[in-house]
């Protein structure tokens, strides 16, 4: 049946959305495209989707991995709900082929940016949540990230990402990690971007709080520590 659908309608069908879903169109619209064409971007949907994904993953960890304590559960969640992991989920869904991005981002090969793909995944999850409800969205998120959660929970680490990174950096002679924070947007709806430096290694993370942004930056740096 889906072979007869247009590519975007086939994607909507795969996501459980209506073939003419306006929400999906918005979810796939990057701010660079919105600015050029004076339409709505996916930024607000990304904000909502971030919360839905976070809760769905936490629910899966608590339900299926009762052996993990609170600290290990928090670490497992941070290993899954981060830019790199969500970008891979977006790639598995084939979202890049449908994203609407501005000309400048196209020239910069922006579709290869993990941050852009991760934001799109969260925006799509928000579209699913608004159109189909939380239970459907939760099931979709958990099915999309089940393997990532299983991997993250197999070898639990009771240390939070920032502590783990600091101990590793100091033991390898890099000194303590250095964090830089930047806030974007109005104070009541700010998004924080953190950048951490460890030797020659730099990694970034975003979040609705300073702690969340720094934690994600530390987790991303940990994954790339072999390049430091």
Q: Which of 31, 57, 213, 80 is nearest to 141 (CA)?
A: 57
Inter-residue long-range contacts of 221-225, CB under 8 Å, 24+ positions, other chains counted:
221/165, 221/177, 221/196, 222/161, 222/164, 222/165, 222/168, 223/84, 225/165, 225/168, 225/198, 225/201
Sheet holding 201-207, edge to edge: 178-184, 191-198, 201-207
Catalytic position from the list 122, 131, 214, 216: 122
122 is an active site residue: yes
Whole-angstrom distance, CA of residue 183 vs CA of residue 195: 12
User: How many other CB atoms sit within 10 Å of the CB of residue 17?
Assistant: 22
The pair of structure tokens assigned to 74 is 């928090």
Three-class secondary structure of residue 17 per DSSP: coil
The pair of structure tokens assigned to 221 is 């740096």
Positions marked active-site: 50, 122
């Amino acid at each position: 049946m889906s072979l007869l659908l247009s590519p975007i309608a086939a994607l909507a069908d795969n996501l459980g959305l209506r073939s003419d879903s306006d929400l999906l169109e918005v979810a796939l619209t990057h701010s660079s495209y919105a600015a050029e064409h004076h339409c709505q971007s996916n930024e607000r949907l990304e904000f909502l989707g971030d919360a839905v994904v976070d809760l769905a993953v936490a629910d899966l960890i608590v339900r299926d991995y009762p052996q993990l304590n609170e600290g290990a559960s928090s670490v497992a969640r941070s290993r899954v709900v981060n830019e790199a992991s969500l970008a891979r989920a977006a790639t598995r869904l084939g979202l890049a082929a449908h994203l609407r991005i501005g000309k400048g981002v196209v020239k910069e090969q922006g579709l290869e940016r993990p941050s852009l793909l991760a934001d799109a995944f969260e925006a799509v999850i928000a579209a699913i949540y608004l159109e189909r409800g939380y239970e459907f969205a939760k099931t979709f998120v958990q099915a999309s990230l089940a393997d990532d959660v299983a991997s993250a929970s197999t070898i639990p680490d009771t240390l939070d990402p920032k502590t783990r990174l600091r101990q590793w950096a100091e033991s390898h002679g890099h000194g303590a990690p250095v964090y830089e924070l930047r806030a974007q947007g109005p104070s009541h709806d700010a998004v924080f971007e953190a950048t951490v430096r460890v030797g020659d290694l730099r990694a970034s993370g975003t979040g609705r709080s300073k702690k969340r942004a720094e934690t994600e930056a530390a987790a991303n740096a940990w994954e790339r520590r072999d390049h430091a």
